[in-house]
Amino acid sequence: MSKGYVLYNLKAGFETNLENVKLLENQFDNELEFINIISIEDYAEFISKLSDEDFIILCGGDGTINCFVNKTDGIEIKNQILYYPLGTGNDFAAELGFSKGSKPFEINEYIENLPTVIVKNKKYRFLNGVGYGIDGYCCEVGDELKKTSTKKINYTSIAIKGLLFYFKPKTATVTVDDKVYTFKKVWIAPTMNGKYYGGGMIPTPNQDRKNPDGTLSTMIFHGSGKLKTLMIFPSIFKGEHIKNKKFVEVLEGKKITVEFDKPSPLQIDGETILDVISYTAISAKETVKV
């Protein structure tokens, strides 16, 4: 009988612990081996020891999947990959109609051809999106709060306080497939592979991660003052912010560069990178040509 390898991430969600992960033993007749994902030093060696019938279950949030797809980049995986959502945001699962604690489901088709982003001369694959601006700021503040508290982080509250007091909008130069655009007073400029990120935000409601052209979508929220931005911002959780065409623009392409005039935090599937001037997101279809 095939064997299941359960890769869990205890940092994904404050309520996630080994006891939650162990509940999988009630869902599978197969033998399961539980492995802390951060303990795997050589993924090529780990994958090579699996038989073709064995399967992997990733337990955690979007960041857990992000970790796995980047650590296994370039490694051929013939095994079935399942995902057991136990993170704080679970945006990937939500987009597919699943919720926290849902029965593990197969994700091979969603992680085989992922877009990449280049930040500070380093390449990363990403699952949901690359956040730049106040969303990156929220992740930065959230990371600091996690160091001192075990309470669930309220990113909406962080965003509102950032809009009113702390985050300063930037001037952005956005290049989409060689077409250059300039926007002033930019609050947020994410590039998305999927629809959801940030624990339920829908910055690009028309983006399809399975679209045959492999295009990505960049949403630029710009030009408005603090109070107007605060009025529009909540509608991003329903994807209705794009109706405000004076302040919100969505651009689609296969190679997208966003450059701010001053450094700003950036997040990739919830993982924070500080003091970023620019990023370049590249479609999986475009990567083949580069």
Taking only the tens place, the pLDDT of each residue in 165-194 is 888 999 999 999 999 999 999 999 999 999
Q: Both 145 and 105 in a single domain?
A: no
Residue range 68-77, pLDDT digits in tens? 999 999 999 9
Domain with residue 42: its CATH number is 3.40.50.10330
Task: Check whether residue 158 and residue 78 sit in a common domain.
Answer: no
The verdict on 217 and 270 lying in the same domain is yes
Instruction: Clarify whether residues 238 and 273 are in a common domain.
Output: yes
Residues 57 and 126 in one domain: no
87-133 pLDDT tens trace? 878 899 999 999 988 999 999 999 989 999 999 999 999 999 999 98
**Do residues 148 and 216 both lie within one domain?**
yes
Whether residue 241 sits in one domain with residue 191 = yes
pLDDT over 70 at 17, yes or no: no
Tell me how many domains the chain contains: 2
Percent of the chain's residues with pLDDT above 90: 68
Same domain, yes or no: 283 and 198? yes
**Does residue 208 carry a pLDDT above 90?**
yes
pLDDT of residue 288: 43
- pLDDT grade for 248, boundaries at 50, 70 and 90: very high
User: Distance between CA 86 and CA 124 in Å, rounded?
Assistant: 23
Among residues of the chain, what percentage have pLDDT more than 70?
96
Q: What is the CATH number of the domain that holds 215?
A: 2.60.200.40
Q: Could you give the CA distance from residue 170 to residue 2 in angstroms, rounded to a whole number?
A: 53
Encode 110-130: b = buried (16+ Cβ within 10 Å), e = exposed: bbeebbbbebeeeebbbbbbb
Average pLDDT of the segment spanning 42-50: 95
> Which one of 54, 84, 111 terminates a domain?
111
End-of-domain residue from the set 57, 78, 111: 111
Domain end marker among 111, 126, 145: 111
147 and 206 assigned to the same domain = yes
pLDDT computed for residue 12 by the predictor: 61
For residue 36, give its domain range. Answer: 3-111
Residue 246 reports pLDDT greater than 60 = yes
What tens digit of pLDDT does each residue of 250-277 get?
A: 999 999 999 999 999 999 998 899 999 9
Q: Is residue 66 over pLDDT 50?
A: yes
On the question of pLDDT at 290 being above 70, the answer is no
Confidence grade of residue 9 (pLDDT, cut at 50, 70, 90): confident
Q: Is the pTM of this model over 0.85?
A: yes
Domain shared by 98 and 121, yes or no: no
15 has a pLDDT exceeding 70? no
Is residue 85 domain-shared with residue 133, that is, in the same domain? no
The pLDDT tens digits of the residues spanning 131-167 come to 998 888 888 888 787 777 767 777 778 888 888 888 8
The whole-number pLDDT of residue 16 equals 52
Is the domain of 32 the same as that of 134? no
Q: pLDDT tier at 13 (50, 70, 90 boundaries)?
A: low
